Amino acid sequence: MTPTPQFTDQPWNEIYSDIIDVRSQAEFAQDHIPGAINLPVLNDDQRAQVGTVYKQESPFKARKLGAALVSENIAIHLQQYFADKPKDYQPLIYCWRGGQRSGSMALVLTQIGWRVTLLKGGYKTYRAWVRSQLETLPEQFEYRILAGLTGSAKTLILQNLSAQALDLEGLANHRGSLLGVLFDSPQPTQKGFESRLLAALQKLDPSQPVWLEAESNKIGQVYLPQALWKKMQVSTGVELKVGTCDRVNHLLAEYPQWIENPEQLKQKLDRLISRHGKAQVQHWATLINTQQWSAFVQSMLEDHYDPAYSRSFQQQYPQVNQTYELSDLSSVSLEKLQAHLSGEKLSIQTNSPD
C-alpha cells in the first residue's frame, strides 16, 4: 500500500521532529508557528512569477510552471536540509491553507518512508487557534502591575525578577514610547506579536501571579489583546519612585543608539511639534547639537514623558496604589526590590526599600 500523510487540526497537542513552514520567506516573516523552520517550496520571486503567469496567460501554464519550480526546490531541500534525517523522522508540514504547497512536500517525504503529518487548513487553522486562545487564556492569570515614570528600570527589573514575569516590550521588540524603537531590529507584525505572546503565556503558571509593566494598550505598532488589556487595568501592583538624576543616567545607558544617531533622533522629535510647539522641539535639538545629553534627557522627562505618565496612569491603572521608593538604581537596591516583589507584599504601604 502506498503510504500517505496523516492530517491534524490540533498540532499543538503533539510533538514533532520538525515543524516545517513551506510558504515563501515573506509569508513566514509575517507570522509562523513558534519553532517552525522555513523551507519554501516557492520563494517570494517564484510565487510572484507563477501568479503573473496565472493572471496574464492561463491557470494551466501557471500550474506547470509552479510544479517545475516546486520540484526543483524540494530536490534542493532533500539534498541539503533532509540529507541527514533519520528513519524515525516525523515532521509536521503546513502552508497557507494546507493545500498544494504543503501537500507536494508531504507526498515526497512520505514516499521516502517518513511519517509525515499535514496541518488541515494550514496556517489559517493555526491563526484561528491563536485568536481563540488570546480571547480566553489571559483571563486565567492574576496580574501584578509594575508602574513608574520613564527611566525607572522597570524592564530591567522584570527581566531579573525571580517571580513570574511577562515582558511585553520584549515580545513587541519596542520600548513602548516615541523613542522606544530598537535599531536594526524591527517589530513583529501584529500576528507575529500575538504568536509570541501566546507562547509566553503558555509557559506561565496560572496559580501564581504574573508581573508585567504598566503599558498602554499599544506598544509601538502592535496592540495588546483586549482580554489581557482589560485584566491589566483592574490589577493591583506597585508604583516605583525613582529620582530624576538616576532615571537620566539609566536612560543614557539604555539608549546609546540615539546618541550615536543624533540626526535620526531629531527627526523623531519633529513629531512632537504639534504637542509641544516648535520652540520646545528646537530647544531639544540645540541640546542634541551641543551634546548636552543629560540636560536633553532631563528635559524630555520633565516636559514630555512625566506629564504624559501623570495624565494616563491613574486613569488606566486605578488599582495600583502601592509605592516603593528606590534610593538609587544600584544593583543592591534593585535586588532588594526584586525580593520585595517576589514576596508580593502588596498589602503593606512601602516608602523605602526593605
C-alpha distances (whole Å) from 93 to each of 60, 105, 254 are 26, 8, 41
Q: How far apart are CA 244 and CA 242, in angstroms?
A: 7
Sign, Cα dihedral of 133, 139, 140, 146? positive
SS3 194: helix
Which among 5, 29, 17, 22 has a CA at the least distance from the CA of 122?
A: 22
Residue length of the chain: 354
Q: How far apart are CA 122 and CA 9, in angstroms?
A: 9
C-alpha cell at 201: 503565556
Please say whether the beta carbons of 313 and 214 come within 8 A. Answer: yes
Q: How far apart are CA 309 and CA 123, in angstroms?
A: 39
DSSP 268-303: HHGGGHHHH-HHHHHHHHHHHHTT-HHHHHHHHIII
Check 20, 39, 93, 95 and give the catalytic one: 95
Active site residue 95: yes
The residues facing 147 across adjacent strands are 239
What does the DSSP 8-state code read for residue 12?
G
19: Cβ contacts below 8 Å, ≥ 6 apart: 11, 33, 35, 36, 37, 91, 92, 94
Helices (H) and strands (E) counted in the chain, each on its own, are 17, 12
Question: Would you please indicate which residues are annotated as catalytic (active-site) residues?
Answer: 95
